[in-house]
Amino acid sequence: MVSLRPFALFYFCYFAYSGLFGPFWSLYLQSLDFSPWQISVLVALSTLARIAAPGFWGWLADRQGRRRGIIISTSLLAGVAFAILCLAPKTFVWVFGCLAFAHFFWAASLPLIEASTAHLTRSSPGRYSRVRVWGSIGYMLLAIGSGYVLNRLSIASMPWLVLGLLVMVALVALTVPDVAATPRASSRESLRDTLIKPPVIALFLCCFLMAFAFGPYYTFYSIALKEAGYDKSLIGWFWAIGVICEIAVFWTMPRIMKKMSLEVLMLLSLLAGVVRFGMIALGIGVPLADVTSQSLHSLTFAIHHAAAVGLIHRYFAEHHQAKGQGLYIVASFGIGGSAGGLLAGVLWPAGGVTLCFGLSALACLLGVLVSLKGLPPGGRARAQAV
């Protein structure tokens, strides 16, 4: 039996990097005197890479029947790219080039890890979330700790701190075992036949809209908090509040999934998105509103992500699992996140937090309608294999 501990450790380290990069990278770019549009472009590179990279790496992994070698090599190459960034001039062109290279390889490992974890936990509903929760724990610890570290070292140390975490991820990747999925003998369905099913189209559209809503969040939320008067340590805590609530939901997911179908969970996450992003648009700078909106991360991310992974595992045959998880990353964090972040870069000078996060709330409202139509709450199956 394959141990899940290396996967939990990989999630921990992978999202520890995200816990530093997500909350504070935009502040670092702002310290280099880049414009809002330049900041949105550079932040969007991480999501733009998820348009082409996951599909390619997922196709390659399914074709080879092996995932471990790709996970190790791409993690190492992402670290090399960031090492170059640390030494390169901090001009827009150099930062753009190094980040584009780093993110293309960085985007490879997560969908492959997700596919392997979903496969190994397929017989135990909710067990996936017990493994994935370690990623949230890593994110939380770094989001909190990094604020204090950066207050002490200054924001200029960001690239070197990121590089250190990428080295740690590459070392942990060496411990991840290979998981070779065996195609189901009864399934001869092509990938195209799967993708044109109405529920699959609805699922990817819901994921696109949620990620679109998160585009302004990942690009400008920390900047909005800074402009509201919070220092870097408090900004880290606000990000951590969301992840603490996310951890609680991931840990209790086995019980949640015994009571609610994946379709209900998807709808619930989108409804929470309407409330959360609406509160950010109208209440940023009000401590109670900021804490409440961040607590809804448990629904807009944890519940949403677990439901999406579960539905993909249900709809995609075994020999399409890595491609399915890769396409989920493409549709959501790739196309959706990039579109939302780049549009926010255009709109931020004109309407700031109110306009950008109001658009996020509207995207989630549209997602609610799509979910009701294409993934009705009275769906046929309870949560399974997640």
User: What's the pLDDT score for residue 180?
Assistant: 65
The answer as to whether 380 is a domain residue is no
Q: Residues 273, 300: contact at Cβ < 8 Å? A: yes
Q: Residues 269, 371: contact at Cβ < 8 Å? A: no
- What share of the chain in percent tops pLDDT 90? 38
Q: Is 198 exposed, middle or buried (0-12, 13-18, 19+ CB in 10 A)?
A: exposed
The answer as to whether 33 is a domain residue is yes
Strand (E) or helix (H) holding 260? none
The whole-angstrom separation of Cα 318 and Cα 101 is 31
**pLDDT digit string (tens) for 154-175?**
888 999 999 999 999 999 999 9
Structural domain count, the chain? 1
The answer as to whether 116 is a domain residue is yes
Query: Which residue range(s) make up the domain with 99?
Result: 5-182+189-374
The answer as to whether 382 is a domain residue is no
User: What's the pLDDT score for residue 119?
Assistant: 78
CATH number at residue 170: 1.20.1250.20
The answer as to whether 384 is a domain residue is no
The whole-angstrom separation of Cα 344 and Cα 150 is 26
Return the sign of the alpha-carbon dihedral for residues 73, 78, 80, 81: positive
Does the pLDDT value for residue 115 go beyond 90?
A: no
User: What's the pLDDT score for residue 123?
Assistant: 74
Question: What integer best gives the mean pLDDT of the chain?
Answer: 86
Q: Residues 235, 147: contact at Cβ < 8 Å? A: yes
**pLDDT digit string (tens) for 295-353?**
999 999 989 988 998 888 888 877 776 778 778 888 887 889 889 988 998 999 999 99
The answer as to whether 381 is a domain residue is no
Q: Is 382 helix (H, G, I), strand (E, B) or coil?
A: strand
Give mean pLDDT, residues 139-151.
87
For residue 329, which of 52, 13, 40 has the smallest C-alpha distance?
A: 52
Residue labelled with tokens 């961040």: 294
**pLDDT digit string (tens) for 35-86?**
988 998 898 888 788 777 776 777 777 777 677 888 888 889 988 988 998 8
CA separation, residue 43 to residues 89, 134, 151, 159, 373 (Å):
18, 25, 22, 14, 33
Beta strands in 53-175 (DSSP E): none
The answer as to whether 31 is a domain residue is yes
User: What's the pLDDT score for residue 385?
Assistant: 41
Among 44-48, 185-189, 267-271, which is the least confidently predicted range? 185-189
Radius of gyration of the chain (CA): 19
The answer as to whether 174 is a domain residue is yes
